[in-house]
Amino acid sequence: MGVRGTGGLWWGTVSCTLFLAVNGLYSASDDVIELTPTNFNKEVIQSESLWLVEFYAPWCGHCQRLTPEWKKAATALKGVVKVGAVDADKHQSLGGQYGVRGFPTIKIFGANKNKAEDYQGGRTSEAIVDAALSALRSLVKDRLSGRSGGYSSGRQSRESGGGDKKDVIELTDDSFDKNVINSDDVWMVEFYAPWCGHCKNLEPEWAAAATEVKEQTKGKVKLAAVDATVNQMLANRYGIRGFPTIKIFQKGEDPVDYDGGRTRSDIIARALDLFSDNAPPPELLEVMLKMAEKYKKKMWGWLWTEAGAQSDLESSLGIGGFGYPAMAAINARKMKFALLKGSFSEQGINEFLRELSVGRGSTAPVGGGAFPKIHAVEPWDGKDGELPVEDDIDLSDVDLDDIWDKDEL
């Protein structure tokens, strides 16, 4: 009994000692600031301080050997440079954001918090302090010479890019509902992370599309961006798990994911489709008269017909039966035609005709190689059409019980 008891006590003591050694690299009494996904953005990304951050794993022998040196450096730099540590084994998502693949990994967050630099120096407190002071000296010189725009979060970085990004609306946890949820406009919202390479590749395309979409839809479709690493309430609400994620918001409907291409032309095309789906019916006569006046030097003829009244003609142009209103431009000499594939609006029609006027645009041969016969029809009376009245079906004489009995057999 005594041996087993002693053995049990000895094992219990060793277990406790190992637990403390593995989980206690840093404590609240140290000058090293413990960082987590909850406080990282507020403490580091939105900070105006220079930060040295160690990403470590408690079980890592190299991390354990670095710990006393890291603590000494933190104490020496207190009040000058912030020194932090992230348990990247526990908070793997945070380590993944910064490409941490081994331990320990040390990164320097300087003027541009979105571009952390890898620390490649020695692992003594002296080497760490020297590197911190060197980074601080460079930062101060940049400020003095005006080369630095100061410290910036992801949101500030996106807004500081100049005129090419002026039409991308930056949204936050505080401004999102007021601008998007209660809006009659359509919103395409990109959720991004400043460190994400795909997001950086998308940024110029998104900005260029925002300007074009604003012009073509008269601001009825808006392109916006949310820094999901800062505005975590929104990211959690909409289940953002990867970057960039683009969602489409329309009043009274649940948001849907945009899964199209990431070029400006892809984004613009989707935005114009959304605009067309949500725009009020165009005053067709007014629009066509305006286009006829604008392109009158082209000596184009203008015709219109009721959908379905010239079925042979529609079939030869690949329209037939759906997608109304539709518009086709026909070259009678070459027997080729082009279809309007953008929004059926003044902007969409103008873009279509402009492309044709300079010899661009996709064309196809008229089906059958010749125009089908045009049928004479009654002129439109200017009134909206009516659906045919369906005959009422009297089911009073049908024995439903008998039907159900047969079904069961």
Which are the catalytic amino acids?
Answer: 60, 63, 196, 199
Please give the Cα distance from 83 to 64 (Å, whole number).
Answer: 17
Q: What is the DSSP string of 280-324?
A: PPP-HHHHHHHHHHHTGGGT-------TTTTHHHHHHTT--SSS-
Asked if 291 contacts 353 with a C-beta cutoff of 8 angstroms, the reply is yes
Please give the Cα distance from 136 to 146 (Å, whole number).
Answer: 15
Give the other-Cβ count within 10 Å of 114's Cβ. 19
Direct distance between the N- and C-terminal alpha carbons of the chain, in angstroms, rounded to an integer = 76
Q: Which two tokens stand for residue 353?
A: 């005709």
Please give the Cα distance from 247 to 235 (Å, whole number).
Answer: 11
Please give the Cα distance from 67 to 65 (Å, whole number).
Answer: 6
Q: Which two tokens stand for residue 252?
A: 């009274």
Closest CA to 220 of 277, 172, 258: 277
β-bridge mates for residue 34, sequence order: 85
Phi and psi, residue 317, nearest 5°: -105, 5
Number of DSSP helices (H) and strands (E) in the chain, helices first: 14, 13
CA 227, 229, 232, 238 dihedral sign is positive
Q: Which residue has the tokens 């302090």?
A: 129
SS3 label, residue 226:
strand
Find the angle CA(29)-CA(38)-CA(245) to the nearest 5 degrees. 155
Q: Which residue has the tokens 């009995």?
A: 405
Q: Which residue has the tokens 């890898």?
A: 118
